[in-house]
Amino acid sequence: MKFTNLTRRTEIGANSYFLEIDGHGVVLDCGMHPKFEGEEALPNFKPLQDRQLDAIIVSHAHQDHIGTLPVLMRRQPGARVFMPEATTAIGEALLHNSVNVMTRQREELGVMLYPLFTHRETDRATDLWQSCPMNQRVTISGERARPDESGILTFEFFDAGHVLGSAGILLRGESQSVFYTGDVNFDDQTIMQTAVFPEEGVDILIMECTRGDHETPPDWSRESEEHRLAEAIVHAFDQGGCVLIPVFALGKTQELLAMVYKFKRANLLPDCPIYIGGLSAKMTEIYDARSGMSRRHLPRLQLLPEVDPFVLNGQNIRDAEARAGRIYALSSGMMTAKTLSNIFARRLIENPQHSIFFVGYADPLSPAGILRQAKPGQEIALGSDEPPQRVRCNLQQFQFSAHASRESLISYAKKLAPKKVVLVHGDPPAVDWVRAKLLTELPGAEVIVPTPGQELEL
Distance of CA 420 to the CA centre of its chain: 25
CB of 139 to Zn ion, least distance (A): 27
Q: Closer CB to Zn ion, residue 67 or residue 70?
A: 67
User: Residues 33, 35, 62, 137: which binds Zn ion (CB under 5 A)?
Assistant: 62
**Helix, strand, or coil here: 66?**
helix
Which residues in 157-196 contact Zn ion (CB under 5 A)?
183
CA dihedral (390, 393, 397, 400) positive or negative: negative
For Zn ion, what does the binding mask look like between residues 124 and 163, x meaning CB under 5 A?
A: ----------------------------------------
Neighbours of 209 (CB within 10 A): 27
CB of 440 to Zn ion, least distance (A): 27
Give the DSSP letter string of 163-227: STT-EEEEEE-SS-EEEE--S--SS--SSBPPP----S--SEEEEE-TTTT-PPPTT--HHHHHH
Kindly indicate which of the ranges 59-67, 294-302, 349-357, 361-369 contains the residues binding Zn ion, using the contact rule CB under 5 A.
59-67
Helix %, strand %, coil % of the chain (to 5): 30, 20, 50
CB of 32 to Zn ion, least distance (A): 11
Q: Closer CB to Zn ion, residue 156 or residue 208?
A: 208
User: Residues 64, 156, 255, 363: which binds Zn ion (CB under 5 A)?
Assistant: 64
Q: Closer CB to Zn ion, residue 62 or residue 354?
A: 62
Q: Closer CB to Zn ion, residue 192 or residue 312?
A: 192
Q: Closer CB to Zn ion, residue 372 or residue 403?
A: 403
Q: Closer CB to Zn ion, residue 62 or residue 282?
A: 62
Give the DSSP letter string of 124-138: HHHHHEEEE-BT--E
Backbone angles phi, psi at 284, to 5 degrees: -65, -35
User: For Zn ion, how many residues bind (rule: CB under 5 A)?
Assistant: 3
Q: Closer CB to Zn ion, residue 156 or residue 183?
A: 183
**Which residues have a Cβ under 8 Å from the Cβ of 213 and sit 6 or more positions away?**
406, 427, 429, 430, 433
CB of 13 to Zn ion, least distance (A): 9
Kindly indicate which of the ranges 46-54, 64-72, 126-134, 229-237 contains the residues binding Zn ion, using the contact rule CB under 5 A.
64-72
CB of 403 to Zn ion, least distance (A): 8
Does the protein bind Zn ion through residue 252 (CB under 5 A)? no
Q: Closer CB to Zn ion, residue 368 or residue 445?
A: 368
The conformation of residue 375, written as its DSSP 8-state character, comes to P
Instruction: Give burial (CB, 10 Å; 0-12/13-18/19+) of 270.
Output: exposed
**Which residues have a Cβ under 8 Å from the Cβ of 275 and sit 6 or more positions away?**
309, 310, 311, 312, 320, 326, 327, 328, 329, 330
Please give the residue ranges that form the binding site for Zn ion (CB under 5 A): 62, 64, 183
